[in-house]
Amino acid sequence: MDFAPSARAADLIERVGRFIEDRIVPVEADYHRQVSTARDRGDDPWTPLPLLSRLRAQAREQGLWNLFLPAAHAGDYAQRFGTHGGAGLSNTDYAPIAELTGRSFLAPHVFNCNAPDSGNMEVLLHYGDRAQRDRWLDPLLDGSIRSAFAMTEPDVASSDATNMAATAVLDGDQVVLNGRKWWTTGIGHPDCQVIVFMGLTDADAPKRHRHTMVLVPVDSPGVTVERMLPAMGRYDEPFGHGEVSFHDVRVPAANILLGPGRAFEIAQGRLGPGRVHHCMRLIGLAETALEAACRRGLDRSAFGKPLAALGGNRERIARARIAIDSARLLVLNAAWKLDTVGAFGALSEISQIKAHVPTVAQEVIDFAMQIHGGAGLSDDFALSAAWTTARAIRLADGPDEVHLDLVGRLELAKHTDRS
Amino acid sequence: MDFAPSARAADLIERVGRFIEDRIVPVEADYHRQVSTARDRGDDPWTPLPLLSRLRAQAREQGLWNLFLPAAHAGDYAQRFGTHGGAGLSNTDYAPIAELTGRSFLAPHVFNCNAPDSGNMEVLLHYGDRAQRDRWLDPLLDGSIRSAFAMTEPDVASSDATNMAATAVLDGDQVVLNGRKWWTTGIGHPDCQVIVFMGLTDADAPKRHRHTMVLVPVDSPGVTVERMLPAMGRYDEPFGHGEVSFHDVRVPAANILLGPGRAFEIAQGRLGPGRVHHCMRLIGLAETALEAACRRGLDRSAFGKPLAALGGNRERIARARIAIDSARLLVLNAAWKLDTVGAFGALSEISQIKAHVPTVAQEVIDFAMQIHGGAGLSDDFALSAAWTTARAIRLADGPDEVHLDLVGRLELAKHTDRS
Amino acid sequence: MDFAPSARAADLIERVGRFIEDRIVPVEADYHRQVSTARDRGDDPWTPLPLLSRLRAQAREQGLWNLFLPAAHAGDYAQRFGTHGGAGLSNTDYAPIAELTGRSFLAPHVFNCNAPDSGNMEVLLHYGDRAQRDRWLDPLLDGSIRSAFAMTEPDVASSDATNMAATAVLDGDQVVLNGRKWWTTGIGHPDCQVIVFMGLTDADAPKRHRHTMVLVPVDSPGVTVERMLPAMGRYDEPFGHGEVSFHDVRVPAANILLGPGRAFEIAQGRLGPGRVHHCMRLIGLAETALEAACRRGLDRSAFGKPLAALGGNRERIARARIAIDSARLLVLNAAWKLDTVGAFGALSEISQIKAHVPTVAQEVIDFAMQIHGGAGLSDDFALSAAWTTARAIRLADGPDEVHLDLVGRLELAKHTDRS
Amino acid sequence: MDFAPSARAADLIERVGRFIEDRIVPVEADYHRQVSTARDRGDDPWTPLPLLSRLRAQAREQGLWNLFLPAAHAGDYAQRFGTHGGAGLSNTDYAPIAELTGRSFLAPHVFNCNAPDSGNMEVLLHYGDRAQRDRWLDPLLDGSIRSAFAMTEPDVASSDATNMAATAVLDGDQVVLNGRKWWTTGIGHPDCQVIVFMGLTDADAPKRHRHTMVLVPVDSPGVTVERMLPAMGRYDEPFGHGEVSFHDVRVPAANILLGPGRAFEIAQGRLGPGRVHHCMRLIGLAETALEAACRRGLDRSAFGKPLAALGGNRERIARARIAIDSARLLVLNAAWKLDTVGAFGALSEISQIKAHVPTVAQEVIDFAMQIHGGAGLSDDFALSAAWTTARAIRLADGPDEVHLDLVGRLELAKHTDRS
């Protein structure tokens, strides 16, 4: 159990932290203001502002790019891409970087480490063939295109992924897609060029061998973005979440990932590091909320005392500190297990953090909103958007309940022989 | 402790319920869709749609109008206004009606019972003089104008109302207002014509005698709506919450309510029934969320079972039922105490419900969102907006912490002689 | 929803309250001290002290006796027994009396209203035939004997009563009992003369028609009290909870209640009022804990302030007040439903209170222990015993989880037609 | 952040675990049964049974003795005592051993690592002079005597240690003690020979320089054990907690530790490792409770399913796993900080675990009791005693509230310069 970052990671952590502090934080509030008022000025809120491209260029120049890329594969890519290939960090090494990027809504994108692109890049890295990697992975690593992930469906309980009813049917050397997806994250970005689509191929196969993952160019005939979906009233520009219909969409069978019926195999592998990233970013988000709460608690006074000294506020600050610190250690431990025993060995740990950390973040942020009074609900502080992020992740990548159930089953399994 | 509605109230409850069920609920989703897409069509989302006026006219025609109006005064007004004067209901009688109106975002406005207008009407009724009532109360009761309430300020901790720093200084037969308010609810409505403004008049007077309430015509020179504020990303059209600056705004001293330095006296009286209304509406909102959760839990299946049968879901439904039922009884009891021993005698009960019920609603709605999956966060169900309503009321009219502190002090006071 | 007690009940409430305050509270601490040190003096802690008999005689003399007896039947018994027949109170009327008796560990017994005797008396009243009533009910009402209830078994999950495996087999005009029971409450009392025993008669009958209730004289051959059981280290003298074995115990078939296979019918009817009593007593217990917490919070100082003014203590006092008041209203409402629509109509309400109120009491008492410091855990205050009482009731008469499940099912049933 | 035990520690962990599993666990239930029925057999429950001495001798023989002894000083002692001097483990190394000993009520004593002796030994080691160490520390390390710690007082809020009112007044070359202490842990043991006493010496000195710690032989004239105190009805034999009066007790001034007025200095140093030990033992205790819950959940069935598959039970198991794992990591991190930056640098971390871990254990155990039904409250499983242990530690060594307050203050202090 050694969670200390390597010397190389320590240097990157320091530089990422400085970049965020010096270059992103100072411009972030203004950036969001511009996005939220874009429509009033007749602008399209879905077009990223030029500032973002400049920041991305700087990050890339400094080698702060694709750092999420897993150690095992980063070697090849580092060779191929130079600094674009990531730094060969372990999950334990990358975790503190993910925490830092969570302190800002822009940072993950600036460093080309944002969901769902990072997850899609991992999928391509692990499961894509040479042609697929050339066509999609290289420009994603390069940052010149974006991608979307289409699994959840509006008409079925998508917490059980075997429920997915959209179809991916083989027809000669093509695969034909039909159905309706929603919460297709990333589809709103103007640079989004490919959708990772999960569809039902063989309803008679064993449950976890029925579905197929297919790479679908966004401009394929039959693909329609029906609407963009707000989460708690927010659209999360420029990535966003779309409702997307697929009507007789035909793509070459060569676009199938790994092979027909192997979607679950891929999904499993995809989600371990992604959940560590989500959770560490939420730790970073919760830290910013607690810092804001402390500052507000010291700066404002009521009934003759700083807010922090009133009622149970100091206790709430203490409980937030305890909750964040123990949650961070839990995530670091999951990352370390992922590094040392692999995704299957870390099954419980990964589900534990996914079931636990978003609620911790949500509660810390809720407290921070409360101590800010009305300001906490407004957009003047990033707390309201932060809350929405934490809340949404309680559903994304499997709702809390599914993860708790898995943790419970694994715990009970330890005793089934003995009982 | 008799919480049963009078025969008269029972009839009104039945009719209000039917009106909401038959006329409002069927059109509500479409109404909200039109508002949220208004801008895309080049429309102003702040202009209420004609449908709303039609519903209001029908409600008024049926005598389902101003029912919140307190029993004691409704007599005069009933005479003067016919059916517009309210029905002379006690708080206990009105409570179930408030619950019903909470089942819909439009209903309170349809029945002319919405905040902040209802509270402002009560203030005018209790504390306005004849001229003030003629000019403002009559058209408010009639529904032809709307009003706003301006107390909270961006620059001070407004949970302590004695902190308010905007000024209301007497200058001959005028009063001069300066300062900045926010969360001025109702200011976005195109019919809003008057602001109830609270300002500091005499900084040397005893704490609770420093402030004055003034009726300020919206079009007074020096009044500027700087911006409308989103709460958790929502603007709450057509009422909304504004940041409003006052620069040397001069109104006649005759616009002062009750007298200089008497703002706290008014605020105290204003808030008892208003808190019962808020809380009962939240009970109604929580009921709709629980109903939606049950239906979703029965309609959708995962892992071979209806969601309601999975994990702890049935327990969560049970806990929601218990939380709602006990919260409703607590509010009914507060209403009954308000009726039988008055606002001062019901001080603890009123603060108890204000500190407790919004959290109950927030938690029930959060569960309902969770069982809806991604749909719960979207605007396809009203859950996300409902959550925001409950969350915002944890801050409006005094944050939870202030009410808890009062309840705690009153509890301890029972023992100070004995100890 | 009228929870106000009748004039007759109001008078009894006042007198019961005074009796407890004047006669029981002043001697209670000393009574418990004597019991807990009995063994050190060579005395038997299971023999009630003479003081208890004196208090019981006084209570009976004042007509404060058997007040739990349900209105419907009290008439006959009042005639037959004079004041011993109860006062003909409704559940709503009796509830505040039960709350008062909950303020003292001795009071329920003093007023002949203690579990399990009150429940057993109700069973005999509703389901006993003339001979059974003459032999057992009359002396129980008279207070000259005590009784025990034997349902739970050590070898099966007794939360599912259909699991009960002890047998009650008919053999001619006898019924033969075999098996092992535990948590047989009341068996420790020297005056205990009869056990209400539930056993399996016909394993092939439909699930809820397999079991039979039998009245078993304590001195029947084959009945052995194997040991008395401590709950959280306490034995609850003089009633206690025993582990009791039954080896070929033969009693006349005439001792069967209602008929073979009808145990569930009886259990159902028995539990409604009993749960109201348990819950109201817990409300009384929680009130005493909150009072003690307030007094301690005012009397003791640390860091220069009374404990009540430190950290979140005042908020905790407020939350306790809110929790108790809403819990009490929930119980009153359940009692009122029991009175107005009967046990079947109040099924959800009864399970709601049983699942909710003990936890409320447990948490309030836990807080009271905490603010008392080490004293809270000692026996110098009754808090530690109070906590144990509340905790035990979370399991007695069906664990929380069973009741929550029923409430959840009933809630979902409202929607099964509509969905 | 490297929490992995050293190779030497790993070996000891393995051996301690095996010793507990093989030698203590098999006899423990019987041991407790013998203690709890001692009085019925005419035996003294305060006399440790011979089995305990045998186990202690074996542990010592195997070098599993005094392992808590801090690395820094263990060197000297190892030399002096051979294996009795501890193994020179860091806090991080000892933590997993402490967790293992927490799995059994006997184990801490068996390995001579039990409170309050371990804490008292540390005090003597760090602050005792040569004579004091010779007289008291050597036999304590040897296990031939036991000790008690007397700080808490019945008449003041002892959560604020500056409140302590018992006096330790210098009179020539003697110090005279007067006052009353309670929760003097360890005083019940027949081998207890010395009390570490804290008393007020100079009421006019600065707050944290008023009190003195004195070593008091138990048989000093004027020392009276007034009574032993039950915590939640249990006496914790053979150590126990006593109420002890001191009447003009005179001991040589040479018995003063460190010097007059330096009690706080000592207390501070004493508590860091002790809190790590307490918390790790509670982690072990919680693990045994969760294991028992899983086994019971699998072994017993109700309503046709294993308990573990009913309602929210599997979720509760998952939450328990998450709570325990994150709590353990938090304690390991505190131990690691204690090792790397010392007690002052780990101030927040130590208070964090003390405020958090006991509640985690209490809640896990409460769930385990619930799933065991009535058995969970009985003494047949160790759950009821385990709950009491966890509950008591929420008060011992400073109540939760004091630790939360400190954590909150330290958190706010990070922002006082910036705000």
List CB contacts (< 8 A) between A335 and chain D: none
Amino acid at A121: M
Give which of D21, D48, D61, D62 is closest to D109, Cα–Cα: D48
The pair phi, psi for residue B215, each rounded to 5°, is -90, 120
Contact D182 C373 (CB under 8 A): no
List CB contacts (< 8 A) between D311 and chain B: 312, 314-315
Q: How much is the CA Rg of chain A, to the nearest whole Å? A: 22
Domain count, chain C: 3
B37 domain-assigned:
yes
Residue C73 confidence (pLDDT) above 80: no
**How near does any CA of chain A get to the CA of D96, in Å?**
13
pLDDT digits (tens, 9 = 90+) for B31-59: 988 988 887 788 899 999 999 999 999 99
C-alpha B378/C-alpha B376 separation (Å) is 6
- The sign one gets for the Cα dihedral B229, B231, B237, B241 is negative
Task: Check if the beta carbon of residue C111 is closer than 8 Å to that of residue C59.
Answer: yes
CB-nearest to C297 from B314, B348, B412 is B412
Residue A130 and residue A163 share a domain: no
Residue A249 and residue A368 share a domain: no
Tokens of D193: 């020979």
CATH number assigned to the domain comprising residue C160: 2.40.110.10
A419 domain-assigned:
no
Amino acid at B138: D
Interface check C290 vs B, CB under 8 A: yes
pLDDT digits (tens, 9 = 90+) for B83-99: 567 788 999 999 999 99
End position of a domain, from candidates B241, B261, B281: B261
**How near does any CA of chain A get to the CA of B126, in Å?**
28
Residue D21 confidence (pLDDT) above 60: yes
**pLDDT higher for B4 or D1?**
B4
End position of a domain, from candidates C84, C116, C144: C144
C-alpha D20/C-alpha B381 separation (Å) is 57
C-alpha D89/C-alpha D73 separation (Å) is 10
What average pLDDT does this structure show over C245-272? 93
Which residues have C-beta within 8 Å of that of residue D417, sequence separation ≥ 6? none
C-alpha D389/C-alpha C233 separation (Å) is 13
Interface test with A, best of B401, B403, B412 (most A CBs within 10 A): B401
Residue D388 and residue D293 share a domain: yes
Task: Check if the beta carbon of residue A291 is closer than 8 Å to that of residue A381.
Answer: no
pLDDT of residue C79: 64
B419 domain-assigned:
no
What average pLDDT does this structure show over B163-167? 97
**Residue C29: CB atoms within 10 Å:** 13
Contact D307 C157 (CB under 8 A): yes
Helix, strand, or coil here: D179? strand
CA-based nearest residue in chain A for residue D92: A1
Residue B73 confidence (pLDDT) above 80: no
CA-based nearest residue in chain A for residue B395: A373
pLDDT of residue C41: 84
C-alpha C158/C-alpha C164 separation (Å) is 7
**How near does any CA of chain D get to the CA of A74, in Å?**
25
CATH number assigned to the domain comprising residue D318: 1.20.140.10
Q: What string of pLDDT tens digits covers the 419 residues of chain A?
A: 889 999 999 999 999 999 999 999 999 999 988 988 887 788 899 999 999 999 999 999 999 999 999 876 666 666 666 656 777 899 999 999 999 999 999 999 999 999 999 999 999 999 999 999 999 999 999 999 999 999 999 999 999 999 999 999 999 999 999 999 999 999 999 999 999 999 999 999 999 999 999 999 999 999 999 999 999 999 999 999 999 999 999 999 999 999 999 999 998 777 789 999 999 999 999 999 999 999 999 999 999 999 999 999 999 999 999 999 999 999 999 999 999 999 889 999 999 999 999 999 999 999 999 999 999 999 999 999 999 999 999 999 999 999 999 999 999 999 986 54
Interface test with C, best of D155, D401, D405, D406 (most C CBs within 10 A): D401
pLDDT, averaged across chain B: 94
List CB contacts (< 8 A) between A312 and chain C: 311-312, 315-316
CA-based nearest residue in chain C for residue B293: C412
ipTM over 0.90: yes
B345 domain-assigned:
yes
CA-based nearest residue in chain C for residue B357: C322
Residue C311 and residue C252 share a domain: no
B2 domain-assigned:
no
What average pLDDT does this structure show over D364-378? 97
pLDDT digits (tens, 9 = 90+) for C365-391: 999 999 999 999 999 999 999 999 999
End position of a domain, from candidates A205, A236, A261: A261
The pair phi, psi for residue B119, each rounded to 5°, is -65, -40
Residue D61 and residue D126 share a domain: yes
**How near does any CA of chain C get to the CA of B409, in Å?**
7
Residue A165 and residue A112 share a domain: no
pLDDT of residue D269: 75
CA-based nearest residue in chain C for residue D156: C300
Q: How much is the CA Rg of chain B, to the nearest whole Å? A: 22
C231 domain-assigned:
yes
Interface check B303 vs D, CB under 8 A: no
Interface check D315 vs B, CB under 8 A: yes
pLDDT of residue A84: 65
Interface check A384 vs B, CB under 8 A: yes
Residue C158 and residue C251 share a domain: yes
**Strand-pair category, D167-171 with D241-252:** unpaired
Interface check D303 vs B, CB under 8 A: no
C-alpha B4/C-alpha A96 separation (Å) is 59
Give the domain extent around A139: 7-144
pLDDT digits (tens, 9 = 90+) for C166-184: 999 999 999 999 999 999 9
Residue B14 and residue B94 share a domain: yes
Interface check D82 vs C, CB under 8 A: no
Residue C292 and residue C367 share a domain: yes
For D310: left if phi > 0, alpha if psi spans -120 to 50, otherwise beta; the answer is beta
C346 domain-assigned:
yes
Q: Where are the beta strands (DSSP E) in C52-166?
A: 146-150
Residue reference for tokens 């299946």: B301
Task: Check if the beta carbon of residue A59 is closer than 8 Å to that of residue A115.
Answer: no
**pLDDT higher for A408 or D34?**
A408
Residue B134 and residue B176 share a domain: no
Residue B315 and residue B239 share a domain: no
The secondary structure element, H or E, covering residue D19 is helix D7-19
CA-based nearest residue in chain B for residue C318: B408
List CB contacts (< 8 A) between B308 and chain C: 408, 412
Residue C243 and residue C156 share a domain: yes
Residue B419 confidence (pLDDT) above 50: no
Above pLDDT 70, what percent of chain C?
Answer: 96
Residue D71 confidence (pLDDT) above 90: no
Tokens of B296: 């979703």
Interface check D310 vs C, CB under 8 A: yes
Distances (CA, A) of D268 to A202, D161, D262, D264, D265: 68, 11, 10, 6, 5
Residue D419 confidence (pLDDT) above 50: no
Amino acid at C246: F
pLDDT of residue A419: 44
Give the B:C interface size as CB pairs under 8 Å: 142
CATH number assigned to the domain comprising residue C126: 1.10.540.10
Vertex C30, ends C29 and C33: CA angle to 5°? 90
B1 domain-assigned:
no
Amino acid at C181: K
Vertex A96, ends A294 and A280: CA angle to 5°? 70
